[in-house]
């Protein structure tokens, strides 16, 4: 009987310590351990259920991109009393999601700082970048040394994160299009052009304007054609390789490219102009949209 009781106790589930994933981001510990930076107050962590407590108004932007854990830390230089920088480390569901959030913070004409393997959007008081599954925001109070603090802290964090820093292939395809406005490539998770069936996908503003002109590249797009036909107004097949929908902002022209859909939309966009853009997208997307064997 005693032996049976012991066996049952051994088989019973035991309480476990909180998972490491629920604690502060490991890069923070590595940062303070190596010296140069110190914590000015205990770090705080937030999950999906309470993210709004820290970034109220922005939580709904982050959550669709698989935000799993946010670590917020206030750090200062060990050698400079009074220095203070806010560090935000967002652990996302995937590198693609981390890029997606970064792309939402990227705008034309921003200053870029190469910190291999990353590209950092930089200013005198801020830095935004991603590496692997982590999206990073650095913020400093304006001051004589704020830019140096921001650049040095971003450099140190880049070196401590695993993974790559390159955009997804589809984003690089759009960024290589001469018709796109530089700095406008975005990975959308919730909706595109106001329609859920177009997401997830990549878009870039079309140059020259109209303001609503867009280039689109939708992964796994062929599978979504039935949903597009149900949701997009005036959707129809023009030919075996061309579809059109009549959106309030102008016609949307769509063409299958491998296992993607390429698209272009602008006010009064003719079929001839659309096919020119779609042909350029198809040429650039051969690798990113190669059909599965």
| The pLDDT value given to residue 242 | 97
Q: State the virtual CA torsion across 199, 204, 208, 212 in degrees, nearest 10.
A: 30
Q: What's this model's pTM, rounded to 2 decimal places?
A: 0.88
Collect the ranges in the chain with pLDDT lower than 50: 1-20, 292-293
Count of alpha carbons within 13 angstroms of residue 270, beta-carbon side: 3
Pairing of strands 118-122, 111-115: antiparallel
Cβ neighbours around 82 below 10 Å, total: 8
Domain pair 19-160 / 169-284, same fold: yes
Nearest to 210 by CA among 134, 291, 140, 266: 266
Is 216 exposed, middle or buried, given 0-12, 13-18 or 19+ CB atoms closer than 10 A? Answer: buried
Which helix (DSSP H) or strand (DSSP E) does residue 282 occupy? helix 271-284
Closest Cα partner for 105 from 41, 58, 53, 52?
58
19 φ, ψ (degrees, to nearest 5) = -60, 145
Alpha helices in 125-257 (DSSP H): 146-160, 169-175, 225-231
- State the pLDDT at residue 220: 84
Q: What is the pLDDT of residue 291?
A: 61
Long-range contacts, stretch 30-37, CB < 8 angstroms, 24+ apart:
30/160, 31/75, 31/156, 31/157, 31/160, 32/75, 34/156, 35/78, 36/77, 36/78, 36/79, 36/156, 37/75, 37/76, 37/77, 37/78, 37/153, 37/156
Q: What is the pLDDT of residue 210?
A: 76
Length of the chain equals 293
pLDDT score at 4: 39
Contact 37, 153 (CB under 8 A): yes
**Residue-averaged pLDDT of the chain:** 90
* pLDDT at 2 (0 to 100): 40
| CATH level 2 (architecture), domain 169-284 | 3-Layer(aba) Sandwich (3.40)
CATH number of 19-160: 3.40.1000
Name residue, tokens 């062929």: 222
Contacting residues for 6 by C-beta, under 8 A, at least 6 apart: none
Could you state, in order of their start, the residue ranges of all structural domains in the chain? 19-160, 169-284
List the Cα angle 198/204/208 in 5-degree steps.
Answer: 125
Instruction: Name residues whose C-beta falls within 8 Å of residue 226's C-beta, 6 or more positions apart in sequence.
Output: none
Angle between helices 26-33 and 146-160 (to 10 degrees): 110
């Amino acid at each position: 009987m005693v032996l049976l009781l012991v066996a049952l106790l051994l088989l019973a589930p035991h309480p476990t310590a909180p998972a490491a994933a629920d604690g502060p981001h490991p890069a923070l510990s590595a940062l303070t351990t190596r010296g140069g930076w110190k914590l000015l107050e205990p770090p705080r962590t937030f999950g999906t259920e309470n993210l709004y407590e820290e970034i109220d108004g922005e939580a709904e932007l982050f959550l669709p991109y698989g935000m799993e854990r946010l670590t917020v830390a206030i750090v200062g230089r060990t050698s400079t009393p009074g220095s203070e920088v806010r560090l935000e480390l967002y652990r996302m569901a995937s590198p693609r999601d981390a890029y997606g959030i970064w792309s939402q913070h990227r705008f034309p004409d921003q200053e870029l700082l190469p910190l291999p393997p990353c590209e950092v959007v930089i200013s005198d008081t801020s830095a935004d970048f991603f590496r692997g599954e982590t999206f990073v925001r650095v913020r400093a109070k304006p001051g004589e040394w704020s830019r140096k603090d921001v650049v040095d802290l971003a450099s140190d964090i880049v070196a401590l994160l695993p993974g790559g820093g390159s955009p997804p292939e589809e984003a690089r395809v759009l960024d290589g299009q001469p018709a796109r406005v530089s700095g406008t490539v975005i990975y959308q998770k919730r909706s595109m052009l106001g329609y859920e069936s177009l997401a997830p996908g990549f878009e870039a503003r079309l140059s020259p304007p109209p303001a609503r002109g867009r280039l689109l590249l939708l992964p796994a797009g062929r599978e979504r054609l039935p949903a597009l036909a149900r949701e997009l107004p005036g959707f129809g097949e023009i030919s075996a390789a061309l579809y059109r929908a009549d959106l309030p902002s102008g016609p949307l022209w769509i063409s299958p490219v491998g296992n993607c859909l390429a698209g272009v939309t602008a006010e009064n966009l003719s079929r001839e102009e659309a096919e020119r853009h779609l042909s350029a997208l198809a040429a650039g997307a051969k690798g990113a949209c190669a059909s599965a064997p």
